[in-house]
Amino acid sequence: MSLKVLVVNSGSSSIKFELYQMPEEKVEARGLLQRIGEPGSELKCRIGNEELVVARSVPDHAVGLKLIMDTLTDSANGGLKDISEIGAVGHRVVHGGSAFSETVLIDDEVLKAIEERSALAPLHNPPNLLGIEVARQLLPNVPQVAVFDTAFHQTMPDYAYAYAIPWELNEQDHIRRYGFHGTSHRYVAARAARLLGRLPSETNLITCHLGNGCSITAIRRGASVDTSMGLTPLEGLVMGTRSGDIDPALFTHLARTKGLGVKEIDTLLNKKSGLLGLSGLSNDVRTLLAASKEGHGGAVRALAIYAYRIKKYIGAYTAALGTVHALVFTAGVGENSPAIRERSLDQMAPLGYRLDKAKNEQAVRREMDIAEASSPIRILVIPTNEELLIAQDTYRLAAKA
């Protein structure tokens, strides 16, 4: 059955979308609407071979999604003839808590569950939910599907997801590690198994999603058994503006010595820390690499801490898995920065990670095995494609529906 699937990623002030022809997996349109509810709203999209920029006031998500639909169905743009051609809509939802371990068709019960978990992701779930509600209004008879960032990690055992706090806080308040970037980790894990010629159920992997947000996942027999992000996306690796792992007592220390409030500390750790805070220059790895070559002390320091944290997690997850068939680098930095990959694997050959430096330099925006031929563990660069995975899941469920 052929079906056009619209993939929607609704953020707090943006909507990212892609339109697929399934099951051919052909991208017919993609775009990004930015600055919703702010001055200077702008829709940039590609429909077929046409590049479009629409500058228009967009006060809310309802107007924004309607603008996207109107643009897709504008005959002058060579897109859809009518909105009714869209056969299903797939939505990225950041937090499903422990309620969802797989992709689901959206109904009123699912909407309620997403809303109930908004306290766990207050910056993400409300706009995700709003995007779903608007899409259901515009396409009332079309199957809508939710793909959760947290779902892939629901296979973690309790000894990996639990914090060492009173157990009733886990049971009653759902305070535990959930993990994120699950759609990306799931996509590259499936692709890695295929490249290795192995069944996912027979494959152990460590997948490194390195972008402005970073996470690393240990995968045993195709299932996530540990991941670096926790209750929120703040835990784990050093990121663009997020601190990653810290001593929890830092929070009370800052409150006591600096007089900072909860919101101020939250902003400090999420938006002013990471590479930006360490370097005092930028959260962009490319900028920092260039600056470090010129001797910028903050850039040198930030990159050293960033790569060291990645190396520590790779080592820890190697121990947790015992046997690792491949290490995978993905996302903006992971796919495009040979320098970060090399730094992260420095002196890791004794653990089985033998990087071929020449191949590593060639692996930019391309799928490639960058390990030495003799390396016991393969090292793969695999561009992620979360939108495609959402389209695949949506098509599968919509076809059944």
- Cβ neighbours, 10 Å, residue 108: 7
Long-range contacts of 200-207 (CB under 8 A, 24+ apart): 203/325, 203/326, 204/321, 204/322, 204/323, 204/324, 204/325, 205/324, 205/325, 205/326, 205/327, 205/328, 206/314, 206/317, 206/318, 206/321, 206/324, 206/326, 206/327, 206/328, 207/327, 207/328, 207/330
3-state class (DSSP) for residue 326: strand
Q: Which residues contact 185 (CB under 8 A, 6 or more apart)?
A: 152, 207, 209, 215, 217, 219, 224, 227
Sheet strands (E) in 149-255: 205-210, 214-220, 223-227
**Hey, what are 300's tokens?**
């040198």
| Burial call 76-91: b when 16+ CB within 10 Å, e when fewer | ebebbeeeeebbbbbb
Amino acid letter for position 11: G
Does residue 226 carry a catalytic annotation? no
For 274, counting Cβ atoms within 10 Å of its Cβ (0-12 exposed, 13-18 middle, 19+ buried), the class is buried
| Strand partners for 53 | 44
The answer to whether the peptide bond before residue 233 is cis (omega within 30 degrees of 0) is no
Chain centroid to Cα 257, Å, comes to 35
Select which of 108, 149, 226, 245 is catalytic.
149
Element (H, E) at 108: helix 108-116
Active site residues: 149
